[in-house]
A and B are shown apart, each in its own frame.
Chain A
Amino acid sequence: MSPTAKPAAKPKLAIFGAGSCGGCDVAIANIYEHIVEVGDAFEIVLWPTIMDGKYADIEALADGDITIALINGSMRTEETVHLAKLLRRKSKLMVAFGSCASEGCIPGLANLSSRREIFDTVYATDSTDNPDGVRPTWEYKAPEGTLHLPEFEPQLRTLEQVVDVDYVIPGCPPESEQIWAVLQAVVAALNGTGPLPPKGSVLGAGTSTVCDECDRKRDVKRIDRFVRITDQAAFDPEICLLEQGLPCNGPATRSGCGALCPAVGAPCIGCYGAAEGVVDYGARLMSAYASVISADKTDEIDTILDGIVDPAGQFYRFSLATSLLRGGRSAWKNGGEE
């Protein structure tokens, strides 16, 4: 080694939040002191939530220079799509981190509406103070030159619908101990002491369903009502929530969270996404619910189903953008303009 040679460069890590709430970044920070070990193992080149970083620095890197990029958040604007493509080019491994990046999450429900409907809600409701009816424009000609805003795309997409993705870490947000386990596995693989999982793997989660991790007792598969929680004391702490009429998404949701919500009396909302082998999350759930409703006449069935006030929201709360229909009709019509 010549005297001027630098020590061996650490593998580079990029963490980027696209259309996200920041919860995924918090979940990473929640690995507590292990974050120091992450800093030891990697050179963090981009993590806008935590440290300063310039897009230009990323553009200056050689293609494939970043070892692993964890992308959270959804693809809704021109900017996030651009960054996803840029990071894909610069990274050897790309991970769809969290529900938004992997399946669209709650922001994906906006795919039930067209761009115009969304903007009407944001800029033109009765309680909106917008007397001039200002709407965003993507281009504005000022005397000093033309200004650009990243365009709000007609539909929300997941990371995988924009670029090639190597791994998926599900969850809204992913559980911190699962994140740490995945990071350890990646470090081990980089040190040559462990195998890298096959491309396309779902990391940091199980393959079964939340019901399999849930300790509640299941036996009667007949439901005569669907209700929302008003008084938690009214529900038995040991019996399956679905059996007690709470719409619980456990039967279709991937295991990995440890069934945290049902353990404290809240029904599973499905944040870990579809269980292994499920083509359409909502379809699986509709099938499960329909099987256990205890009514065999149309009007009785309808009365029970009235308890599910928002079926699309119930069945596709996290997965609409990756469902078979991908969204509502108005989001497709005329390119989502109307």
Chain B
Amino acid sequence: MTTEIATFEPVIIGFTCNWCSYRAADLAGTARVKYPPNIRLIRLMCSGRLDPTFVLKAFAEGADAVMISGCHPGECHYIEQNIKALRRFELLRRTIQQMGIEPERLQLVWASAAEGTRLANEIARVTEEVRALGPLNWPAGRNGHLDAAGLEAAWEATGGEPGGPPETPGGENPEHAAEAKR
């Protein structure tokens, strides 16, 4: 195991639904179930609210993985919108794979409001899977909102120059760099 992997703390964006998985996370907290702090939870009203744009934006702006979670099939507060999330998940996984992003970086977890421990275990599992994959370091997003001049600068950084371009074009993820220093 290289030093980089040993010190790498993945950043995972977790989308939870208001009725099941967010409450599962809440329950895990109340019950003091421990899970890795790598996940940043975002609450949606329903996993069906998950626009694939959110997932791509997360990857583009520095997330190493995205975890979508919702009510178990058949238990959705909005009848079947979690099934839409399941279909979007399947379609997204196929597309990101073509972009060179490992499908394991996008995960789908069902968790009811009573399954705090299950959710915590799943978060731990996803964290370890992503840690093994290493950082994603997608450089596009950090250039995404720049003006033409800024993009030009970022472009120069992506190399093509003799003498060898940088290992991670577009600059280090500040969060990863901070981790590596510790």
**Is A167's CB within 8 Å of the partner chain B?**
no
**Is A189's CB within 8 Å of the partner chain B?**
no
B165 touches A286 (CB 8 A): no
A280 touches B53 (CB 8 A): yes
Least Cβ distance of A32 to chain B in Å? 36
- Residues on B with C-beta less than 8 A from A305 are 90-91, 94
- A287-B88, A296-B83, A324-B60 as given contacts; A279 in contact with B53, CB under 8 Å: yes
- A301-B87, A311-B95 as given contacts; A336 in contact with B100, CB under 8 Å: no
A280 touches B160 (CB 8 A): no
Q: Complex Cα distance A40/B6, Å?
A: 70
- Residues on A with C-beta less than 8 A from B151 are 157, 161-162
Least Cβ distance of B130 to chain A in Å? 15
Least Cβ distance of B148 to chain A in Å? 6
Q: Complex Cα distance A279/B61, Å?
A: 14
**Is A108's CB within 8 Å of the partner chain B?**
no
- Residues on A with C-beta less than 8 A from B152 are 162
Which residues 22-65 of B have a CB within 8 angstroms of A?
51-53, 55-57, 59-60
**Is B68's CB within 8 Å of the partner chain A?**
no
Binds B, one of A128-136, A148-156, A199-207, A234-242: A148-156
B95 touches A312 (CB 8 A): yes
A154 touches B88 (CB 8 A): no
Q: Complex Cα distance A328/B59, Å?
A: 12
A302 touches B52 (CB 8 A): no
- A162-B148, A328-B99, A329-B101 as given contacts; A296 in contact with B80, CB under 8 Å: yes
A330 touches B100 (CB 8 A): yes
- Residues on B with C-beta less than 8 A from A162 are 148, 151-152
**Is B107's CB within 8 Å of the partner chain A?**
no
Which residue of A154, A283, A301, A326 is within 8 Å of B140 (Cβ)?
A326
A324 touches B57 (CB 8 A): yes
**Is B139's CB within 8 Å of the partner chain A?**
yes
A324 touches B140 (CB 8 A): yes
- A154-B158, A324-B140, A324-B141 as given contacts; A290 in contact with B88, CB under 8 Å: yes
A164 touches B90 (CB 8 A): no
Least Cβ distance of B61 to chain A in Å? 9
Q: Complex Cα distance A336/B140, Å?
A: 13
- Residues on B with C-beta less than 8 A from A280 are 52-53, 56-57
Least Cβ distance of B95 to chain A in Å? 4
Which residues 53-87 of B have a CB within 8 angstroms of A?
53, 55-57, 59-60, 73, 80, 83-84, 86-87
Least Cβ distance of A164 to chain B in Å? 6
Give the size range of B's interface with the partner. Answer: 35 or more
**Is B170's CB within 8 Å of the partner chain A?**
yes
Q: Complex Cα distance A291/B85, Å?
A: 9
CB-nearest residue of chain B relative to A310?
A: B98
B148 touches A164 (CB 8 A): yes
**Is A39's CB within 8 Å of the partner chain B?**
no
B52 touches A311 (CB 8 A): no
**Is B134's CB within 8 Å of the partner chain A?**
no
Which residues 148-171 of B have a CB within 8 angstroms of A?
148, 151-152, 155, 158-161, 165-167, 169-170
B53 touches A284 (CB 8 A): yes
A283 touches B160 (CB 8 A): no
B141 touches A296 (CB 8 A): no
A332 touches B169 (CB 8 A): yes
**Is B124's CB within 8 Å of the partner chain A?**
no
CB-nearest residue of chain A relative to B137?
A: A332
- Residues on A with C-beta less than 8 A from B133 are none
**Is A243's CB within 8 Å of the partner chain B?**
no
- A290-B87, A301-B87 as given contacts; A332 in contact with B138, CB under 8 Å: yes
CB-nearest residue of chain A relative to B80?
A: A296
**Is A163's CB within 8 Å of the partner chain B?**
yes
Least Cβ distance of B141 to chain A in Å? 7
- A154-B159, A325-B59, A325-B138 as given contacts; A161 in contact with B148, CB under 8 Å: yes
**Is A293's CB within 8 Å of the partner chain B?**
yes
A334 touches B167 (CB 8 A): yes
**Is A160's CB within 8 Å of the partner chain B?**
yes
Q: Complex Cα distance A302/B87, Å?
A: 9
- Residues on B with C-beta less than 8 A from A308 are 91, 94
A287 touches B51 (CB 8 A): yes
A286 touches B91 (CB 8 A): yes
A–B Cβ pairs within 8 angstroms, 8 of them? A162-B152, A290-B84, A291-B84, A324-B56, A328-B100, A329-B138, A332-B139, A335-B158
Q: What is the interface of chain A, defined by CB distance below 8 A to chain B? A: 112, 115, 151, 153-155, 157, 160-164, 279-280, 282-284, 286-287, 289-291, 293, 295-296, 298, 301-302, 305, 308, 310-312, 315, 323-330, 332-337
7 closest Cβ pairs, A-B complex: A335-B159, A329-B100, A335-B165, A290-B87, A312-B98, A283-B52, A326-B140
